[in-house]
């Protein structure tokens, strides 16, 4: 068994969160914002909750050059060398794989976990407990995903289908990863009790992950290992710049997890700690609600709501936001744009951003 000290946490911080426009922008993405009114940004909260498992020197953020400075400023305790900068976005398998390869160079027996920078967890202690179980299972040689016990037939998440119990850490084998389902299928998933939400929280020995990456994506594996070998040398920039652009764009689910599940290598630890991917304004309203009729993200004194229920208000533009006689509406005020959207259309905010991009309104996206 590996000593607890060898666990490292990796936080990929990419994506712009266009469905949370106009607060989230390409130059100022979702993970850099305090979307839950806690005083900490999603990125800071992610690192905070990993604290009991990984101290700052074993916590790594993988991000793009455009956000490296903001990440460094938001996480002053993080060593500068732990901010891993991708030359260009290449989806999650290259980002997580690069971190795995670098960590593997330093400690070939280490265990790592990967955690999105822009999700919300309500029960931090429950998160840590689930992660300790996941680390225990990972040490047995499995690729472990933390599976969230579904609380509704959500069509916006992928699911994992659990199989037999593994007799360690409360884990089950994963027989299959299922893509975002249609509503009827999601309802069957939830009713069966056999499906869990795939929260993109992964724990594994770097050696096990890299072996599967080599088997399934040999080109990607080879490139990442060569970059990692030169990472702590003067050749880093040259090697990274030469190899990175040719790496395939692929998610870690497609590159490794689905194929590994078919081989019986994936386990899931079921958990319930109040998780949300905060995928859109409606989801934020669900996770940030404290039971009051209007969920305010930000300074509540800047919102005046009368006869208004099940609404979300984000007063981020310094103005007073007033709501009267509304239901199921989200209002987001920023310095240069105001969004008013029906909650059941929140996932389509991305379309607004697409229109603005097509118009050339680059200052607004």
Q: What residues make contact with its own copies under the rule CB under 8 A? A: 22, 304, 306-307, 317, 319-326, 329, 331, 333-342, 344-345, 348-349, 351-352, 355-356, 361, 364
Please identify, using beta-carbon distances, which residue of 22 and 110 lies nearer to its own copies. 22
CA distance 127 to 121: 7
CB 294 → its own copies: shortest distance, Å? 11
Report the alpha-carbon distance of residue 19 to residue 139 in Å, rounded: 37
Distance between CA atoms of 144 and 133, rounded to whole angstroms?
A: 10
Largest CA distance in the chain: 63
Q: Tell the smallest beta-carbon distance from residue 119 to its own copies (Å).
A: 24
- Rounded Cα distance, 15 and 31, in Å: 9
Tokens representing residue 89 in the block? 């976005």
Instruction: Work out how close the CB of 25 gets to its own copies at its nearest, in angstroms, rounded to a whole number.
Output: 13
Kindly state the smallest distance separating residue 156's Cβ from its own copies, in Å. 16
Contact at 8 Å (CB) between 210 and 216? no
Tell me how far, at minimum, the Cβ of 185 lies from its own copies, in Å: 24
Coil, strand or helix at 167: coil
Whichever of 21 and 127 has its CB closer to its own copies, that residue is 21
Helix (H, G, I), strand (E, B) or coil at 80: helix
Rounded to an integer, what distance in angstroms lies between the CA atom of residue 8 and that of residue 14?
19
Of 106 and 345, CB closest to its own copies: 345
Min. distance of Cβ 180 from its own copies in angstroms?
Answer: 20
Residue nearer to its own copies on the CB measure, 200 or 308: 308
Q: Is 76 or 325 the residue whose CB approaches its own copies more closely? A: 325
Question: Taking the complex as a whole, how short is the minimal distance between the CB of residue 178 and its own copies, in angstroms?
Answer: 28
Q: Over the Cα atoms of the chain, what is R_g?
A: 21
CB atoms inside a 10 Å sphere around CB 236 = 14
Is 43 or 331 the residue whose CB approaches its own copies more closely? 331
Sign of CA dihedral 311, 314, 320, 321: negative
Query: Which residue, 149 or 347, has its beta carbon nearer to its own copies?
Result: 347
When the beta carbons of 179 and 307 are compared against its own copies, the nearer one is 307
On the question of a cis peptide bond just before residue 262, with omega within 30 degrees of 0, the verdict is no
**Residues in Cβ contact with 115 at an 8 Å cutoff, skipping those fewer than 6 apart:** 9, 10, 11, 46, 50, 200, 201
- Least Cβ distance, residue 280 to its own copies (angstroms): 11
Answer yes or no: are the C-beta atoms of 208 and 104 closer than 8 Å: no
Residue 252 φ/ψ, nearest 5 degrees: -65, -30
């Amino acid at each position: 068994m590996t000593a607890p000290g060898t666990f490292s946490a990796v936080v990929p911080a990419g994506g712009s969160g266009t469905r949370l426009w106009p607060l989230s922008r390409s130059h100022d993405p979702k993970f850099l914002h305090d979307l839950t009114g806690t005083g900490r940004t999603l990125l800071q909260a992610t690192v905070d909750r990993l604290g009991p498992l990984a101290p700052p020197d074993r916590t790594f953020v993988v991000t793009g050059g455009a956000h490296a400075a903001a990440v460094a400023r938001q996480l002053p305790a993080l060593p500068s060398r732990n901010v891993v900068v991708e030359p260009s976005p290449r989806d999650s398998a290259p980002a997580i794989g690069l971190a795995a390869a670098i960590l593997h160079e330093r400690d070939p027996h280490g265990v790592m976990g990967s955690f999105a920078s822009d999700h919300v967890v309500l029960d931090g202690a429950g998160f840590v407990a689930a992660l300790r179980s996941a680390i225990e299972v990972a040490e047995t040689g499995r690729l472990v995903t933390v599976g969230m016990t579904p609380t509704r037939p959500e069509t916006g998440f992928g699911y994992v289908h659990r199989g037999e119990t593994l007799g360690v850490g409360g884990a089950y084998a994963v027989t299959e990863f299922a893509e975002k389902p249609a509503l009827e299928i999601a309802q069957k998933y939830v009713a069966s009790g056999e499906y869990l939400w795939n929260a993109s929280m992964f724990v594994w020995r770097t050696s096990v992950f890299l072996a599967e990456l080599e088997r399934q994506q040999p080109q990607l594996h080879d490139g990442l290992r060569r970059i990692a070998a030169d990472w702590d040398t003067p050749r880093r920039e040259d090697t990274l710049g030469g190899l990175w652009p040719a790496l395939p764009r692929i998610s870690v689910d497609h590159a490794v997890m689905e194929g590994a599940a078919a081989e019986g290598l994936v386990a899931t630890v079921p958990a319930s700690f109040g998780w949300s991917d905060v995928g859109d304004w409606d989801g934020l309203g669900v996770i940030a609600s404290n039971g009051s009729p209007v969920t305010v993200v930000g300074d509540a004194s800047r919102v005046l709501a009368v006869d208004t229920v099940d609404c979300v208000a984000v007063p981020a533009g310094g103005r007073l936001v007033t709501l009267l006689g509304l239901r199921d509406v989200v209002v987001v005020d920023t310095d240069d744009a105001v969004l008013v959207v029906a909650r059941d259309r929140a996932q389509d905010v991305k379309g607004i951003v697409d229109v603005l991009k097509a118009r050339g309104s680059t200052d607004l996206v």
